[in-house]
Amino acid sequence: MKIEGRYSFFSGPELVWARLLETEVLAGCIPGCREFTAIAEDVYEVVINAGFGAFSGTFTGSIKVVERDAPRSFRMLVEGKGPAGGLSGDALLTFHDIGGATEIELVSDAKATGILARLGQRLMAPAAKVMIDKFFDCLHEKVDTP
């Protein structure tokens, strides 16, 4: 399942980059995040309440930030398991300087297992896109609000 998006910020790439990688900001902006624990540099364990169609529950997993190229890009590797199956994904975030403002380009690919895989892209992609959009709306408030 592929998900892409573009998210604009008034602030410059250096500030957006720095805020996005702050533990408190990540934890506070992930929809349904109940627990967020740094277990190593750029590696986090998470517990998230999430719903996909008729299936909802608690997912546990990890987030790893890799391939840092500050403040131009980084990749996030995500894995999680819950009552309806598992998810694993890879997201490349590219930061574009637009006259002192920032546009983040997101290109991601995710795979599901279990019941979630049977739901297919028809239900999963829109639900995942809503969660990603909520994350970036929250990030926008934390970066661009004085």
Q: Is 32 left (phi over 0), alpha (psi -120 to 50) or beta?
A: left
The residue with greater pLDDT, 95 or 115, is 95
**Confidence (pTM):** 0.90
Say which residue the tokens 């002192």 belong to.
100
Question: Are 38 and 62 contacting, i.e. CB atoms less than 8 angstroms apart?
Answer: no
pLDDT one-digit tens code per residue, 110-143: 898 887 777 666 677 788 889 999 999 999 999 9
Average the pLDDT over 85-111 and give the result.
95
Cα(68)–Cα(11) distance, rounded to whole angstroms? 20
pLDDT one-digit tens code per residue, 42-87: 999 999 998 766 667 899 999 999 999 999 999 999 999 988 788 8
Structure confidence at residue 121 (pLDDT): 61
